[in-house]
Amino acid sequence: MRLVKITLAVSAVVTACAVLGVAAGYLHSRTLQTPPTIDGTEVLSDPIHLGEPFQLQVTSTSPWRYGRPKEIEFEPPDGIDVLRSDEIITLRKLGFGTWTWTRALTLQVYDFGPYTDLTADILFHPHGADDVHRVTAVLPDITITPKVPDKTNVIHTADELSDDYLKGDGAVSRWWLLVPLLVLVAVACGYMVFRRSRGAAHAPPPPPWTVAETALYDLEDRLPLDAETVFVELTDITRRYIEAAYQLPATERTTPEFLRELNREKSRLGTDQRLMLADFLSAADMVKFARLDASESQIRDAIGKAKRFISESAAPLITAAKLGDAAIREKD
């Protein structure tokens, strides 16, 4: 019985000390004039690839009276989407009158950047006050690393030759009778290929708009396909057409670099055509890199816009080609 009384007394003393400690810490936090501070920021994913979510972590220390950080306000630049800003909050350290919290932003990039000079506001709501306290955090630079596919070298070997095949000298020897026939077939095939290559060499290559329109109709005939496959082929067809028709380096550049080249003063594309192309390529990048989906009607509409762009942009080129042919005939 005496042991029980001693245990209860000790428990009461410990509880009282804990309550007094919390109360003292809270009163101490109310007397602190120190505002919340940012302890550090960190990118949790390394490397960062296009279209893959990653987290950016912000750690802050504040007096108890400010409570835990409520939210993060972040204005993303072009090329970054905010997926979640309120899902992760962790108490990292509890001190006398202060505590340290960590919040995380979940982001996704769909352009190579670069992304520098980024900031975010951490919002605190002090107890008993109506105003909101903001602390600005300087975020680390975000660097995008291209994703390189894994390469696996596989060596394939033929099946082992059977003993019957190796010992069948009489059966193998009869195959030499086919050698003259195979030689004649090879000569005939070579002659046909030679004739066709000579004919193809004299025929002028089709113009870029014809090649592009043929590729678009072929892509449309192969529907339905998944959205990523369609938009990858659509952008390749459009870029090859512009590179061939306007002598612009389109296939080896990112969309922002390519659009900056088109917006120069010497661009031969009209304003409406450049705006149409910018909207089309930006929508295609969202499907290819941000993994957005598209319905079959949206896919067919995108193919129709590509056809219209090629038709409208090729019209002055076709007119110029006809005038050049007429001038050559007049000289002859």
CA dihedral of residues 46, 50, 51, 52 (deg, nearest 10): -10
Higher-pLDDT residue of 297 and 165 is 297
- Extract the tokens encoding 245: 């028709």
Which of 121, 138, 155 delimits the end of a domain? 138
**pLDDT tens readout for residues 33-86:** 677 888 888 887 778 877 788 777 888 887 866 777 877 887 888 878 887 766
168-219 pLDDT, tens digit per residue, is 554 455 556 677 778 888 888 888 887 777 655 556 788 888 998 899 899 8
| 161 falls within a domain | no
User: Stretch 316-330: mean pLDDT, rounded?
Assistant: 69
Overall number of domains in the chain: 2
Q: Mean of the pLDDT values across residues 90-110?
A: 77
Confidence at residue 214, expressed as pLDDT on a 0 to 100 scale: 92
Domain match, 233 and 315 both: yes
188 part of a folded domain:
no
Q: Average pLDDT for residues 225-249, to the nearest whole number? A: 84
Residue 321's domain comprises 208-331
pLDDT at 156: 58
The label of the residue with tokens 């109310």 reads 30
- Dihedral sign for Cα atoms in the order 294, 299, 301, 307: positive
Count Cβ neighbours within 10 Å for each residue of 140-158 and write b for 16 or more, e otherwise.
Answer: eebebeeeeeeeeeeeeee
- For the four alpha carbons of 181, 187, 191 and 194, in that order, the dihedral sign comes to positive
- CATH code at position 45: 2.60.40
- Where among 138, 164, 183 does a domain terminate? 138
Give yes or no: residues 122 and 230 share one domain.
Answer: no
Domain annotation covers residue 47: yes
- Which of 138, 153, 171 marks a domain boundary? 138
Residue 12, pLDDT above cutoff 50: yes
pLDDT at 170: 47
232, 127: one domain: no
Q: What is the pLDDT of residue 271?
A: 77
Residue 92 lies in a domain: yes
- Greater confidence, 240 or 288? 240
Looking at the predicted structure, is the pLDDT value of residue 154 above 60? no
pTM value surpassing 0.85: no
Q: Which residues contact 307 (CB under 8 A, 6 or more apart)?
A: 213, 216
Mean pLDDT rounded to a whole number for the chain: 75
**pLDDT at 152 exceeding the cut of 60:** no
Q: Which of 22, 102, 98, 27 is nearest to 63 (CA)?
A: 98
Higher pLDDT, 229 or 8: 229
Is residue 27 helix, strand or coil? helix
Per-residue pLDDT, averaged over 253-260, amounts to 76
Higher-scoring residue by pLDDT: 117, 27: 117
Confidence label for 32 from pLDDT (cuts 50, 70 and 90) = low
Look at residue 81 and tell me if it is in a domain: yes
| Segment 234-253 mean pLDDT | 80
Dist. CA 94–CA 62, nearest whole Å: 10
Mean pLDDT of 325-329: 55
Is 97 inside a domain boundary? yes
The verdict on 215 and 100 lying in the same domain is no
